[in-house]
Amino acid sequence: MPELPEVEVVRAGLAPAVVGARIVAVDARDARALTRHDGDAGSFERALTGRLITGVARRGKFLWMPLAPASADDAPRGAVIAHLGMSGQMLLRASGALVERHERVRLDVHHPDHGDLAVVFADQRTFGSLAIDDLVPTADGRVGGWGSDEALVPSQVVHIGRDPLDDAFDEAAVVARVRAKRSAVKRILLDQTVVSGVGNIYADEALWAARIHPETPGDALSVRAVRRLFAEVRAVLLKALAEGGTSFDAQYVNVNGQAGYFAHSLNAYGRDGLPCPRCGRPIVRDSFMNRSSHYCPRCQRPTGSAPLR
């Protein structure tokens, strides 16, 4: 599943092409891509045609494109919100380009500088979705997320926590929430209401870097240990961003269809049976929440109730 770096790469690629562009036509060819939308394909197409895109923003794994008001009395403001799910792609194509494999929705746009373009939402496994949603004020009064200059966020994203790279991320408050929980620290990292944008790959990588076992209870971690963990989360996210995200197959690509190459930099995730880059002990894979955890049994020793220092 695309995580923060992959979604941010998509956001950054979309922004220069669509900010200031007007949607001239919409083809919602597969209703399965509109599961989060309150309406049918026809209402989605009618509501977007003619609208002006004013930005591209992201919080955690959610993207949204704010829309200029349709009229003077258009309130609340609206946005096109996207979640890529397991295999969703947002692709930029030339106007009139052939239909993409697994194409679900196409927005034809006209940009005053770039001319005519097509924004294609393709999704092989159909767990991703697009929707039109109302923009509402953020709970903390800060901008909605990366790429946003307004204290607004889609109503479907209100419950999503800030990500560790967000300027409004309140680390002290999040550290306290982590240490108040008895559940495994990896489970906490994957809880998008606590901290967003981190999925299975980057949780494993950050926990390996911080030398913390994924099953360590949150309340067994000291303040220092949790702060160290978030420092490693930020480090791995920034490195992945610099390398274009993580691609294991053709399902994750940027807006131009290119794969990221952070998979070559992984230390724990997907390396079961291979030597730990730090100590040489084979990396272990255990079942975890219908997926897998990868860790080093020597560097990341299980911890009970004694707080890690």
d(C-alpha 187, C-alpha 123), whole Å? 27
Token digits for 160?
């999503």
- Could you say which of 29, 224, 281, 291 is catalytic? 291
Helix (H) or strand (E) holding 82: strand 78-83
Radius of gyration of the chain (CA): 20
- Could you say which of 3, 6, 8, 205 is catalytic? 3
Q: Are 27 and 116 in contact (CB under 8 A)?
A: no
Task: Estimate to the nearest angstrom the gap between the alpha carbon of 15 and the chain centroid.
Answer: 16
| Cβ contacts of 81 within 8 Å, gap of 6 or more | 36, 62, 63, 64, 130, 131, 132, 133, 154, 156, 157
CA trace torsion 308, 171, 286, 281 (10° rounding) = -60
- Could you say which of 11, 51, 61, 162 is catalytic? 61
Pairing type for strands 57-59 and 22-28 reads unpaired
DSSP 253: -
3 is catalytic: yes
278 is catalytic: no
- CA triple 28-34-37, angle to 5 deg: 120
Catalytic annotation, residues: 2-3, 61, 291
